[in-house]
Amino acid sequence: MNIKVIVVGKLKEKYLKQGITEYAKRLSKFCNFEIIEVNDEQAPEKLSIAEMEQVKVVEGDRILLKIKDKEYVFVLAIKGKERTSEEFATELNKLTVYGTSDITFVIGGSLGVSKKVMERANSEISFGRFTLPHQLMRLVLTEQIYRSFMINIGSPYHK
């Protein structure tokens, strides 16, 4: 199984890198795990709606270049479907049981993702209605992917 996380922008915070590295190491027992960073589009603080859409289009095109046709794609979105950890674990397990071996998660930039990225998504996932830093979401998502594997093997990690 291959799990890929595509993210917009570079991760600078050392403590987040350390946490992600630890979970990625743990995940290596279960899958090929990788994080792919695409460049964010530099934009001034105040943008018109049209300018915001253009930033999302440029970043979205960079994201889409990293996704292959056969991949099952989850896009993280505040308006996406919320799941419990158990539901998420069951969903990932079902995907693999039914032959999906390439799963991709997308974390967009600060403005979100383009319409084309949303259209490519097989599913939208939300970690709640809080707005969290995108860099922190990398760690949270990586931990939840690891947690889902632990749930699926019956490990006490989840308790």
Residue 92 is labelled as binding a ligand: no
Confidence (pTM): 0.95
CA distance 1 to 81: 24
66-104 pLDDT per residue, tens = 999 999 999 999 899 999 999 999 999 999 998 899 999
pLDDT > 80? residue 1: yes
Cβ(2)–Cβ(105) under 8 Å?
A: no
The CATH number assigned to the domain with range 2-41+50-153 reads: 3.40.1280.10
Q: Which residue is it, tokens 């930033």? A: 55
Domain limits, the chain:
2-41+50-153
pLDDT > 80? residue 119: yes
Residue 76 is labelled as binding a ligand: yes
